[in-house]
Chains A and B, each alone.
Chain A
Amino acid sequence: MSFAAFLFYAFAALALLSSLGMVLNVKNTVAGAMWLVVTMISLAVLYVLLDAYLVAVLQIMVYAGAILVLFLFVVMLLNLRSDAFAAPRSRATKFVGALVGVGALASFLSLLPGALPRVVEVPASFGSYRDVGLTLYRSYVVAFEVASFLLLAAVVGAVVLAKRRLD
């Protein structure tokens, strides 16, 4: 097994453990958010190993940087130190949710040995900033502009929602 493959499996295991830590941690919301940071950073390492350099940088900058800071900011703003909720109305929703998740996983994994594409050889420049940037600005420039409008709408919506009282 090559060193790159070893790195891949090590960080894949770290991503799985930290995502389980996020989902199963019912005591502390801040700890859950920190587990999610670990997941994001291990996924960035996996992106580097899959030759997606620009995506890896953006993963760390946008997810581990901006989005997780936003989560932590809201958790601390609302002072959600513990997840102490009243007793649930029924345990059925939890059971059904877990069943749906496990069922989805079983169906994904049963489909997995099917028709996956053959892995081709790629040039060394695959996934570089130049490569992705040229594709983005030549073929997908309309989608890029629409994405910027979406971000503008989200900024306005977030300010309006967080500012006013709902009543």
Chain B
Amino acid sequence: MVVPLTHVIGLSAILFAIGTIGALTRRNLVVILMSIELMLNAVNLSFVAFARAWGGVEGHVFVLMVITVAAAEVAVGLGIVISLFRNRDSVDVEDVSLLRW
């Protein structure tokens, strides 16, 4: 491996935290979806790093599954965003509080 495993996993943790902060603090629904993509990518990076460390290729197979789920999630999520924009004329999460207690 070209760098110690600790550095790769540390990078993955930092990217995941950046994605978490983005998903929890931003109000634009599209940016929230992009932050969730960033979190999924951080997890993919640690899957790839551990697959390389263990010498098994199953981690790569799991990354393919995560990419599939991410693509499905983006398609449905952006469909919901478009539908909300038509009805509420906004992509602000604070305008989408119908189910909030």
Contacts and interface: CB of A to CB of B under 8 A. Distances in A.
Contacts, number: 255
Interface in A4-33: 4-5, 7-9, 12, 15-16, 19-20, 22-23, 26, 29, 32-33
Contacts of A113: 6
Interface in B40-91: 41, 44-45, 48-55, 57-58, 60-61, 63-65, 67-76, 78-87, 90-91
Dominant SS among interface residues on chain A: helix
A38 B44 CA distance: 16
A66 B49 CA distance: 24
Interface of B: 1-3, 5-11, 13-28, 30-31, 33-35, 37-38, 41, 44-45, 48-55, 57-58, 60-61, 63-65, 67-76, 78-87, 90-92, 94
The 6 residue pairs across chains A and B that have the minimum distance between CB atoms:
A97-B24, A154-B72, A101-B21, A161-B79, A105-B17, A23-B22
